[in-house]
Structure 1
Amino acid sequence: MRTHLPFWLLLLLYLLVGSLFAIYTPPWQAPDEPAHYNYIRQLAGGSLPVIAPGDYDQEYQGTVISSRFDPQYSVYIAFSYEDWQPPLYYLLQTPVYLLFAGALLPLRLVSVLLGAGVVALAYAVGQQVWPGRERRWWWLTAAAFVAFLPQHVAILSSVNNDALAELLIAALLWLLLRMPADAPAGARSWLGVGVLLGLGFLTKATVYIMVPVVGLVLLRLYWRQWRALWQAAVRVGIPAGLLGALWWGRNLLVY
Structure 2
Amino acid sequence: MTALHRAREVAAGIPAAGWWCAAIALVNVTVWAFVTPPFHVPDETVHVAYVQHFAEHAAPPDEPGGPAFASQQALLLDALHFPQTVGHADTGTIWSESQDDTVDDVEAGDLSAGDGGGIVSNSNQPPLFYALETGVYLATPADDLLDRLVSVRLVSALLAAMTTLFVFLFMRELFAEAWTWTVGALAVAFQPVFGFISGGVTPDALLFTASAALFFGLARAFRRGLTTRRGLGIGLVLAVGVLAKLNFVALVPGALLGLGLLVLRARPRRPALPSLGAAAGVLGLAALGYIALNRLVWDRSAWGGGIEAAATTATGGPAGVPGIGLTEQLSYSWQLYLPRLPFMSDQFAYFPPYEVWFRGTIGIFGWLDTSFGVWVYRVALALAIPLVLLAALGLWQRRSALVQRWPELLTWATMVAGLLGSIGFLGIRYRTDSGFAFEQARYLLPLLPLYAAGVALAALAAGRRWGRQLGAAIVLLALAQGVFAQLLVIARFYA
Match status 1:187 vs 2:228: yes
Residue 112 (structure 1) aligns with? 157
User: CA contact under 8 A between 2:60 and 2:117: conserved in structure 1?
Assistant: no
User: CA contact under 8 A between 1:14 and 1:148: conserved in structure 2?
Assistant: yes
Residue 190 (structure 2) aligns with? 148
Match status 1:212 vs 2:253: yes
User: CA contact under 8 A between 1:109 and 1:157: conserved in structure 2?
Assistant: yes
**Secondary structure of the structure 2 residue equivalent to 1:179:** helix
How far apart, in 2, do the equivalents of 1:180 and 1:153 lie?
Answer: 30
Over 3 Å counting, the alpha-carbon distance change for 1:237 and 1:20 in structure 2 is same
From 169, 180, 190, the equivalent of 1:138 is 180
How far apart, in 1, do the equivalents of 2:279 and 2:244 lie?
Answer: 18
Residue 87 (structure 1) aligns with? 127
User: CA contact under 8 A between 1:35 and 1:79: conserved in structure 2?
Assistant: no
- Once the two structures are TM-superposed, the CA of residue 227 in structure 1 deviates from its matched residue by 5.3
- Once the two structures are TM-superposed, the CA of residue 129 in structure 1 deviates from its matched residue by 0.8
Over 3 Å counting, the alpha-carbon distance change for 1:235 and 1:4 in structure 2 is closer
Which stretch shows the higher mean deviation, 161-170 or 204-213?
A: 204-213
How far apart, in 2, do the equivalents of 1:149 and 1:66 lie?
Answer: 29
Residue 84 (structure 2) aligns with? 66
Residue 139 (structure 2) aligns with? 99
User: CA contact under 8 A between 1:172 and 1:196: conserved in structure 2?
Assistant: yes
User: CA contact under 8 A between 2:22 and 2:162: conserved in structure 1?
Assistant: no
Match status 1:177 vs 2:215: no
Which stretch shows the higher mean deviation, 209-218 or 194-203?
A: 209-218
Over 3 Å counting, the alpha-carbon distance change for 1:55 and 1:180 in structure 2 is same
Which stretch shows the higher mean deviation, 218-227 or 150-159?
A: 218-227
**Secondary structure of the structure 1 residue equivalent to 2:202:** coil
Question: What pairs up with 1:12-91 in 2 under 5 angstroms?
Answer: 12-51=23-62, 52=64, 64-68=82-86, 80-91=120-131
Which stretch shows the higher mean deviation, 155-164 or 80-89?
A: 80-89
Match status 1:123 vs 2:168: yes
Match status 1:242 vs 2:282: no
- Once the two structures are TM-superposed, the CA of residue 210 in structure 1 deviates from its matched residue by 3.1
Over 3 Å counting, the alpha-carbon distance change for 1:229 and 1:199 in structure 2 is same
From 197, 203, 210, the equivalent of 1:161 is 203
- Once the two structures are TM-superposed, the CA of residue 29 in structure 1 deviates from its matched residue by 0.9
Map Cα deviations across residues 25-83 of structure 1 (whole Å, 9 max, x no partner): 111111111111111101111231244457779xx99x953345778899968793222
> Which runs of no fewer than 5 residues in structure 1 stay unpaired?
none
**Secondary structure of the structure 1 residue equivalent to 2:244:** coil
Question: What pairs up with 1:194-233 in 2 under 5 angstroms?
Answer: 194-223=235-264, 231-233=274-276
User: CA contact under 8 A between 1:19 and 1:157: conserved in structure 2?
Assistant: yes
User: CA contact under 8 A between 1:55 and 1:81: conserved in structure 2?
Assistant: no
**Secondary structure of the structure 2 residue equivalent to 1:85:** coil
Residue 254 (structure 1) aligns with? 300
- Once the two structures are TM-superposed, the CA of residue 182 in structure 1 deviates from its matched residue by 7.2
> Which runs of no fewer than 5 residues in structure 2 stay unpaired?
1-11, 87-92, 107-112, 302-495
User: CA contact under 8 A between 2:18 and 2:169: conserved in structure 1?
Assistant: no
Over 3 Å counting, the alpha-carbon distance change for 1:182 and 1:9 in structure 2 is closer
User: CA contact under 8 A between 1:112 and 1:157: conserved in structure 2?
Assistant: yes
Question: Which amino acid in 2 is paired with 1:152?
Answer: F
Map Cα deviations across residues 164-195 of structure 1 (whole Å, 9 max, x no partner): 111112112212111156736x6222122212
Over 3 Å counting, the alpha-carbon distance change for 1:145 and 1:83 in structure 2 is same
User: Normalization by structure 2: what TM-score?
Assistant: 0.44
Question: Which amino acid in 2 is paired with 1:13?
Answer: I
User: Normalization by structure 1: what TM-score?
Assistant: 0.82
* Aligned residue pair count: 247
- Once the two structures are TM-superposed, the CA of residue 202 in structure 1 deviates from its matched residue by 1.4
How far apart, in 2, do the equivalents of 1:111 and 1:237 lie?
Answer: 28
User: CA contact under 8 A between 2:167 and 2:212: conserved in structure 1?
Assistant: yes
Question: Which amino acid in 1 is paired with 2:167?
Answer: A
Over 3 Å counting, the alpha-carbon distance change for 1:79 and 1:245 in structure 2 is closer
User: CA contact under 8 A between 2:229 and 2:275: conserved in structure 1?
Assistant: no
Map Cα deviations across residues 102-136 of structure 1 (whole Å, 9 max, x no partner): 421111111001100001111110000112xxx22
Over 3 Å counting, the alpha-carbon distance change for 1:14 and 1:235 in structure 2 is closer
Over 3 Å counting, the alpha-carbon distance change for 1:117 and 1:26 in structure 2 is same
Which stretch shows the higher mean deviation, 72-81 or 13-22?
A: 72-81
How far apart, in 2, do the equivalents of 1:48 and 1:119 lie?
Answer: 31
